[in-house]
Every structure is written in C-alpha cells, then in structure tokens.
Amino acid sequence: MTLLVARHAPVDAAGICYGRHEVATRQRPDASAVEIFEALGERRTQITEVWSSPAKRCRLPAEHLAGLLAVPVHLSDDLQELDYGQWEGQPWDILQRDDSERLKHWMDAWQSEAPPDGESIGALERRVRNWLIANGRGRLVVAHAGVIRALYVILRGLSWEESMAREIEHLKIEIFEPSDRP
C-alpha cells in the first residue's frame, strides 16, 4: 500500500535552531488540515489512519485531518524531527558567536556527528526505519522535513546529500509507492 506524507505548515522561527523545539506555525491547524485533505484528492479513500510526530506543528493538524477523514490518529516519537540537543531554540547567530567551534565541527561532519547532546542523522534514519517496519504503508503521516528526507534515503535509496538537496514543501503530499525500496 502507498505511504502518504505531508510536512507541517511553515513556522515562525526565522534564524532559530529548531528540531524538536516547539515553534508556532503561520497557519491555523484546522486550515493546514483542510489544505492537506484537499491535496489528497481521491487518495483520501486509501487512508485507514493518520500518524504524526508529537510536535504541535504536526499533531494538531493531524488530529483535525483524522477527524475530516474519520480515521484514528496515532502519535509516534519515531516521527519527531532531528534533535539538536543543547542548540534547540537558540538563535543561529548566537550559536555562531558563542559555540562556533562545535558548530563548525558539526557542519563539517553532519552525516556522522550529532550536535551537543543531540542526535545524529543516522539515529534519525534508524528511528524512521523502525517506525516504517512496524507501521508500514497505507497511512498518512504528518511530520517534518527530516523525517521525509529519511524516507527518501530508506525507500528511494537516495544518499543523504541527494535527500538534503530536495525541496520538501510544506503541506504538500509526498507519495511513496509499493514499488519503492522496502
């Protein structure tokens, strides 16, 4: 079955390092849900449940969307965005000023290293893979760009560089078909 994934609405967090940090969206959750619902088109009938990251920017529209689809909604920590650890919620310019050495080290080695007390890309990929194995296809997921990028790595065989180069639009449906890699 097909896996459909939508990224949350745009956020008000310009210049802020955020992954798991709660940030407000520029659109009400119900309006985001309607936009995703409309984007689904005739695929709406394929959806048996909605899954979401527990972050409010995903969870609240997912709950509205599940109501529109009349299906259950489930939250999973495995669908959270990358954890930036000590840097969560900090302005990037302050990190550049006050923690430039560790920031440069991470930027140079982002594929193998984690931010201080944070999570590596490999750990994000393992979380998403674990969710995928346990919960698979036939679902609609409301999550983050990092989760969608991990799905491109896992299901389409893209490298992380290729996946990072892809634009992941807000509130648009990313479709992963059964023909994609297991």
E strand segments, 64-135: 73-75
pLDDT, mean of residues 143-171: 96
3-class secondary-structure state, position 179: coil
Q: Exposed, middle or buried: residue 50 (CB in 10 Å: 0-12, 13-18, 19+)? A: buried
Q: pTM (2 decimals)?
A: 0.94
The reported pLDDT for the residue numbered 177 is 83
pLDDT tens per residue across span 92-124: 999 999 999 999 999 999 999 999 999 999 999
Phi, psi of 13 (to 5 degrees): -150, 35
User: Taking the alpha carbons of 42, 158, 125, 54 in that order, is the dihedral positive or negative?
Assistant: negative
- Neighbour tally for 162: CB within 10 Å: 13
List residues bridging with 7 in a β-sheet: 143, 170
Give the tens place of pLDDT for each residue, 35-89.
Answer: 999 999 999 998 999 999 999 999 999 999 999 999 999 999 999 999 999 999 9
Task: Domain ranges for the chain, please list them.
Answer: 3-176
**Is domain 3-176 in CATH 3.40.50.1240, yes or no?**
yes
- On the 0-12 / 13-18 / 19+ scale of CB atoms within 10 A, 134 is exposed
Question: What is the pLDDT, as a whole number, of residue 2?
Answer: 83
Residue 66 confidence (pLDDT): 97
pLDDT (0 to 100) of residue 135: 82
Contacts of 97 (CB under 8 A, 6+ apart): none
